[in-house]
Chains A and B, each alone.
Chain A
């Protein structure tokens, strides 16, 4: 039951966030400050979610750290999302065989 409530909240909030502006708003936000906050939010959220959680995403901080370094290097050279994600995974896996 608790699980159902959790999932309903997740789905409901996420849907409303998408639906309300897309359906109702026809004008653009004028405030430069709010525009700026909205511009930075995605990057800030992803960064806060990734660090330091990525270092605990595998079963060892060593394999996770190696995967992170590989991901950062490949992302720096703007490789596609899937390539970066899979490379991080493979790097962690291979490192795992050596420790």
Chain B
């Protein structure tokens, strides 16, 4: 009989392996953008998120405003609020406010997906197992990428810049394939983002992401409001 912590650890192994390879790319990207390896490692350790960190490094590299940084992180990571709401319905009684405050740190797309697919109620130690190994993979990959990245051939590190984006593609394309509504929202967001990049280059990277994604999501919500049951389904 495995303890919940060990069970969490074992469920987290595939997540950690996936994170390692992707955050390797983040480490390289961060150093390329002018951050030190220590900066990159601290960011991964304290943020534990791909899209928000990639955007954050973009803003740092561009010397963006602090408000822009806060607003960008808010919009990009807003999905974790939704996941937190959903997970909070599944918690065991032993999940005190104190444990909630700690475990909430580890809500990511993949951890959410694994945790919400469990049949039994979630206990703190299970979540800690799942989160700690995932965080280790994420931070470890960043460290190796940031430190060893400069020792690798330039052709390889250049190609690794696409890793994070490849992961984003792996999330949005299957959604676009299975739902026409998602496809339209995804295409709108990409279209708006390209309009900012090529026609309105004076708008900063962070704000163009916020404006593009909120506009696309609001249009999607107005044209194709979803059912609550659909939300649960879509997030799994």
Contact = CB atoms under 8 A, between A and B. Distances in A.
Interface string B190-204: 101110011000000
Interface string A43-78: 111111111111001111001100110011011101
Interface in A74-90: 74-76, 78-90
Interface stretch (B3-11, B35-43, B142-150): B35-43
A6 to B, nearest CB: 5
A1 interface: no
Most buried by B among A46, A68, A82: A46
A58 B21 CA distance: 16
B165 interface: yes
A93 B105 contact: no
Contact of A51 (B56, B87, B190): B190
A74 B162 CA distance: 15
A14 B47 CA distance: 6
B13 interface: no
B173 A72 contact: yes
Contact of A48 (B77, B100, B103, B192): B192
Nearest to B73: A13
B228 A28 contact: yes
Most buried by B among A45, A87, A96: A45
Contacts of B52: 10, 14
A54 B194 CA distance: 11
A77 to B, nearest CB: 9
B51 interface: yes
Interface string B36-64: 00010011001111011111100110000
B186 interface: yes
Interface residues of B, number: 104
Contacts of B168: 46-47, 49-50, 54
Q: How many A residues touch the partner, as a band?
A: 35 or more
A57 B161 contact: yes
Given A18-B107, A45-B189, A52-B193, A71 B169 contact: yes
A47 B182 CA distance: 11
Contacts of A63: 158-159
Contacts of A22: 84-85, 87-88, 100, 103-104, 107
B169 A50 contact: yes
Interface in B164-188: 164-177, 181-182, 185-188
A35 B56 CA distance: 26
Interface in B53-106: 53-56, 59-60, 66, 69-70, 73-82, 84-85, 87-89, 97, 100-101, 103-105
Given A48-B212, A49-B55, A85-B166, 15 more contacts: A9-B69, A11-B46, A17-B74, A25-B84, A34-B221, A36-B224, A44-B216, A47-B189, A48-B190, A48-B208, A67-B166, A71-B170, A71-B173, A75-B170, A92-B158
Interface of A: 3, 5-7, 9-11, 13-15, 17-23, 25-26, 28-29, 32-54, 57-60, 63-64, 67-68, 71-72, 74-76, 78-90, 92-93, 96-97
